[in-house]
Structure 1
């Protein structure tokens, strides 16, 4: 990829203004694919089961790696994991594990592959569970997406510098605890906070970024938009 021609981020804001006049954080200004992901996808609401399961799975595969590594293999992951359809992945067998370990289009890590299969089965089982969610008020028929979104906070962070962007929260801790109790793996508080950022549950775009508040859920100051809660 061609490096971004913009000047380095300033130390006080952590933002880079690109040739298009739009301000982005440094991580989203380095390559075309990261810039496109930041502009069109990161932080936009994802509320369907398949979409949330895909993001949860990819966050787990990212552990110890850069997001760019995962992003550039996403189509390979989708092909390998039946487009992250929960029921299809839940039915995978040991033969599928062997197939995945030989697939150069994904990250071939046995622990993460087996965790993805276990998480699909846990997500399938959630639909039959009662008393799930942040308030314990979700019952049979609720999906992984419903459970994850039930942990949305009343306000979102409003960071002005990269140093002010948190890596965890009480809500991500609670979400991680509930998911672990239901058999999910690779769902620690930091990983769950990253998931919440990626699917729009919280908005950690830097104040001043052209994407701040663009999800329609949060105002730039971190307050909820009327009608979205």
Structure 2
């Protein structure tokens, strides 16, 4: 009887033990990383300033003529937005790796997938979203035709989110390297090419009078696939980088 009672007590204790939820860990990581990002506003401003400075120099270095700038605007805005996103990727997991937080995330009861997804979301909110909101203003500087602004913003919303997700894989692979920026670029840039092609093509098509629904649908498919697969790949890469 005593053994049965002990078994019942153990089962009751097991039922009473709270099981950590998925979303509380996600939101906790999201809030923490957002607070850290706003405490380091200088790092958050780097990609925005890079985007602004490069686009400002385009008329000075190429041509001030509106026809030339209008022709270059879709591709130029997309290329510089891609490079600005890449500029901030190296620090995605590095601070957590250096202070030991990353090791705690690896042994936490919550799946690492959701922790990575939260970190990528913060990266996009502090880099991709500001770049997207700034793009129409810089499009005016490059004489982008009026019909292209809506598709420019929509394509960048979809595209920069995909860039952050894909970039998390390279950031996870190089997190243990002290100077992994060059290797990160070599790993990630080939994966960025399809997003760049369809993003710039969407804006160009609208400017030339053609529909951009096909390109936007492909960008949406890229984003959906990246949301599912990229955090899984980044989580595996983090385990290899930390434990290897």
Normalised TM-score (structure 2): 0.27
* Structure with greater helix share of residues: 2
| The structure with more radius of gyration | 2
Normalised TM-score (structure 1): 0.28
